Amino acid sequence: MSGPTPETRRQVLGRDGWKCAICGRNIDSYWSGYSIHHRLKRSQGHGYKGLHQAGNLLPLCGSGSDGCHGWVHDQAGTIAYQLGYLVHPWQTPTGVPVYYPRHGWQQLDDDGQRQPVQPPEGMPSYIPDIHHPKGTNQ
């Protein structure tokens, strides 16, 4: 399989209210510039059975080079990992919380659900502003 199934895509979009997980922009039929982002990169997930499952996926506006999706990849190695938008190959995505500016720290599962959790050690519970150098117009 080369990507998430249509059902998994619907789960992920529904879980996050058809909005970008970072900026909150609507990504339903009104604005189609979005992608389903893999927190554990596809290039690093060979052999990981959950690669295309909801716990590894986030709806983000833009593509891998623009919008919030582009911002995540521009921040690779820094804040994107700290905020859970990317996970390292030795980590399990469902074990790494992700920060939603609108909802705080959340734990994702492969059933398409998310639950509030405490922030990871050393991270604040609330981050007042995430700057997007190539991000959306907020």
User: DSSP assignment of 19-70, as one string?
Assistant: B-TTT--B-STT---EEEEESS-GGG-TT-TTTTSGGGEEEEES-TTSHHHH
Q: What's the pTM value of the predicted model, to 2 decimals?
A: 0.88
pLDDT in tens, 83-102: 999 999 999 999 999 999 99
* Angle subtended at Cα 30 by Cα 24 and Cα 35, rounded to the nearest 5 degrees: 60
Quote the pLDDT of residue 45. Answer: 67
What is the percent of the chain where pLDDT is above 90? 62
* Sequence letter at residue 138: Q
Higher pLDDT, 6 or 47: 6
Q: Are the CB atoms for 16 and 36 separated by under 8 Å?
A: no
Confidence of residue 31 (pLDDT cuts 50, 70, 90): low
pLDDT at 28: 67
In the chain, what are the domain boundaries? 6-116
d(CA 81, CA 72): 9
Residue 97: per-residue pLDDT? 98
Q: In what order do the strands lie in the sheet with 114-116?
A: 98-100, 104-108, 114-116
Q: What whole-number distance in Å separates Cα of residue 111 and Cα of residue 123?
A: 26
Q: How many helices and strands (H and E) does the chain possess? A: 3, 5
